[in-house]
Amino acid sequence: MDFTFTEEQQAAVEAARAVFSDVAPDRAPSPALTRGAVAEDIDRRLWHELARTDLLGLTLSPDHGGAGLDPIALCLVLRESARVLARVPLLESCAVAMALQRYGDRTLAAELLPRAGRGELILTIGASGRTGHDPAELAVSAKPYGDGDEDGDGGDDGPDNEGSGWVLDGVQTAVPWAQVADWIAVPAHTTGGRQVLALVPRTRDGVTLADQVSTNGERLAEVRLEAVRVEARELIAAAGCWDWLRSLLTTGTCALALGLGERVLAMTADYTGKREQFGFPVATFQAVAIQAADRYIDLRAMEATLWQAAWRISTGSGGPLPAAGDVAVAKIWASDGVRRVVQTAQHLHGGFGADTDYPLHRYHAWAKQIELSLGPAAAHEEALGDLLAAHPLG
């Protein structure tokens, strides 16, 4: 097996490192010292720099002005962004663009994707549902214009009978940076139970936003849709679209967890290498070294499971289990691993780790937000068990 990255993927990493090298984790106020969101807007300077270096169009096809790379490349860039706590919706915008390119209407893709790659518009997605615990697609209903039974047979016509458009009703909570996004992707369900994905302009009639704030101080919104009309081309009804996009978002979040964890462990190694007790660096003490080694093992497991999941999504390759199994394993390690890494870092830093003049507390807040976004490892273990029961190995 070849675990090396391609030249194009490695070039993307180098470009990302060059861009993010200029970003300081404390560019925004501390979430520990700020009431509400730490900033009203994304880091526009960084967003424009990502566009200038073609990183926003990394996974778009050349037809749309992109580099045509895969989700693995996106995860590599996300990993670098998390090291500096980049305050941009890179994952959400790129993931929605990829879904539109892969499954959506070609004319809409031709209109939106080149602009998204140039950083001229921002895409985001509501993937948390009404409460953050229920499936996101169940929080919003999609019905064709009229009574939902355009052919008069008494049943739901479903997405295949597109008519003139669709009406959306429901709520998506904790939508990242919805207030500054131009388009919001909304998973929904039809009366017949089919999963669809609607692309809705933020300013469309019937869309209202209520401010929310994440654990790490980023600006979120509750997006309420009341009789919101979308054109037929703005609704993606292709089978598997939402499942694929949800897996991509989850895997991208695992990449953020990995990058953050690696940066935190590096900070811990630097601190314990300089901090002395009894005339020796505390890093030389066995208890400290063992804890750091355990967290290093966590990170390597997070990395291996991340690339397995990203590879399955990128290639569509088969396996003993569906790709959802690999995504579940990646979530198990990322959710528990990132928590253990930051907790150990706080412990080994002592009181210095809680100092708001030192950036570690910011990484702790981001790690908690990632852990909450991924959900508890026990839930993913249960999902993995269900997959194993449905697909016996051997």
Assess contact for 344 and 290: CB atoms under 8 A.
Answer: no
| Integer Cα distance of 131 and 134 in angstroms | 6
Average pLDDT, the chain: 93
- Identify the bridge partners of residue 125 per DSSP, sorted by sequence position: 185
Nearest CA to 66 among 115, 17, 105? 115
163 versus 291: the higher-pLDDT residue is 291
Please give the model's pTM, rounded to 2 decimal places. 0.94
- Judged by average pLDDT, the poorest of 18-32, 102-116, 145-159, 267-281 is 145-159
- DSSP SS3 for 298: helix
163 pLDDT band, cuts 50/70/90, is: low
Is residue 363 within 8 Å of 339, Cβ to Cβ? no
pLDDT for 39 beyond 50: yes
Question: Is 73 within 8 Å of 7 (Cβ atoms)?
Answer: no
* Whole-angstrom distance, CA of residue 369 vs CA of residue 367: 5
Q: Report pLDDT digits (tens) over 72-131.
A: 999 999 999 999 999 999 999 999 999 999 999 999 999 999 999 999 999 999 999 998
